Structure 1
Amino acid sequence: MSSSRAKNEPTKSDRNRSQLQPSEPESPERPGANEEMLRSIKVMMDDQRTEIVAKFESIISELVKMEVATALKPLQEKVSLQSVTISDLERSANEHSDQLTGMQVNMAKLSATVESLGKKCEELEARSRWHNIRLVGLPEGSEGPQPTESIAKLLMDLLGLDEMTGLTALCSAPLLHNGKRVHIFPDFTPTVAKQRAAFAQVKRELHACANMKFGLRYPATLHITMSSGQTHRFEDLDQALEFVNKSLKKNPALESD
Structure 2
Amino acid sequence: MQRNQRPKPGPNAADSPEEDKAGSAEPLSDTQAIMAALKRTEQCVLTKIDSTVTVAVGELHTKIDNLSRDLRSEIFNVRTEFTKVVEDVRKENATFVTRIEGLGEGANCYANRVVELEAKVTTLSSQVNKLVDKTEDLESRPRRDNCRLVDVAEGTGNIQPEKAIAQLLQDALSLDYTPTLDRAHRGLQPKPADGDAPRPIIIKFHYFQEKADIIRKAMGARPIFHNGKRFYIYPDYTLSVRKRRVAFTEVRGLLRRCPGVKYGLVYPATLKITTSAGDQKLFEDPTKAKHYIETDLHPRDPEGE
TM-score (norm 1): 0.62
How many angstroms apart in 2 are the aligned matches of 1:234 and 1:199?
A: 10
Question: Is 1:138 aligned to residue 187 of structure 2?
Answer: no
Name the structure 1 match of 2:249. 200
Question: Is 1:231 aligned to residue 280 of structure 2?
Answer: yes
How many angstroms apart in 1 are the aligned matches of 2:81 and 2:288?
A: 79
Tell me how far 1:192 sits from its aligned partner. 1.8
How many angstroms apart in 2 are the aligned matches of 1:162 and 1:218?
A: 28
SS at match of 1:223: strand
Name the structure 2 match of 1:50. none
How many angstroms apart in 2 are the aligned matches of 1:59 and 1:173?
A: 108
Gaps of 5+ in 2: 1-68, 181-206, 301-305
The correspondence for 2:295, drawn from 242, 246, 251, is 246
Q: 1:154 to 1:74 in 2, by over 3 A?
A: same
Question: Is 1:158 aligned to residue 169 of structure 2?
Answer: no
Q: 1:139 to 1:250 in 2, by over 3 A?
A: closer
Deviations 1:114-171 (A, max 9, x none): 112212222222222111111011123433154444433433333335349998x979
Q: Would you say the 8 A contact 1:199–1:237 is kept in 2?
A: yes
Tell me how far 1:62 sits from its aligned partner. 7.4
Name the structure 2 match of 1:18. none
How many angstroms apart in 1 are the aligned matches of 2:179 and 2:268?
A: 34
How many angstroms apart in 1 are the aligned matches of 2:295 and 2:89?
A: 75
1:152-191 correspondence runs (5 A): 152-159=166-173, 160=175, 162-163=177-178, 172=221, 174-191=223-240
Q: Would you say the 8 A contact 1:155–1:161 is kept in 2?
A: no
Cα root mean square deviation, aligned:
3.7
Q: Counterpart of 1:222 in structure 2: which amino acid? A: L
The correspondence for 2:116, drawn from 77, 95, 102, is 102
Name the structure 2 match of 1:213. 262
Q: Would you say the 8 A contact 2:149–2:234 is kept in 1?
A: yes
SS at match of 1:183: strand
Name the structure 2 match of 1:20. none
Name the structure 1 match of 2:189. none
Q: 1:78 to 1:179 in 2, by over 3 A?
A: same
Q: Would you say the 8 A contact 2:245–2:265 is kept in 1?
A: yes
Deviations 1:40-92 (A, max 9, x none): xxxxxxxxxxxxxxxx9999987765554344444433333333222222221
How many angstroms apart in 2 are the aligned matches of 1:241 and 1:132?
A: 31
Deviations 1:13-45 (A, max 9, x none): xxxxxxxxxxxxxxxxxxxxxxxxxxxxxxxxx
SS at match of 1:209: coil
1:7-46 correspondence runs (5 A): none
TM-score (norm 2): 0.53
Tell me how far 1:238 sits from its aligned partner. 3.1
Q: 1:226 to 1:85 in 2, by over 3 A?
A: closer
1:122-133 correspondence runs (5 A): 122-133=136-147
How many angstroms apart in 2 are the aligned matches of 1:193 and 1:164?
A: 25
Q: Would you say the 8 A contact 1:175–1:183 is kept in 2?
A: yes
SS at match of 1:246: helix
Tell me how far 1:215 sits from its aligned partner. 1.7
How many angstroms apart in 2 are the aligned matches of 1:242 and 1:88?
A: 55
How many angstroms apart in 1 are the aligned matches of 2:281 and 2:89?
A: 77
Name the structure 1 match of 2:97. 83
Q: State percent identity of aligned pairs.
A: 34
How many angstroms apart in 1 are the aligned matches of 2:255 and 2:285?
A: 15
How many angstroms apart in 2 are the aligned matches of 1:184 and 1:111?
A: 37
Q: Would you say the 8 A contact 2:166–2:179 is kept in 1?
A: no
Tell me how far 1:219 sits from its aligned partner. 1.7
Tell me how far 1:211 sits from its aligned partner. 2.8
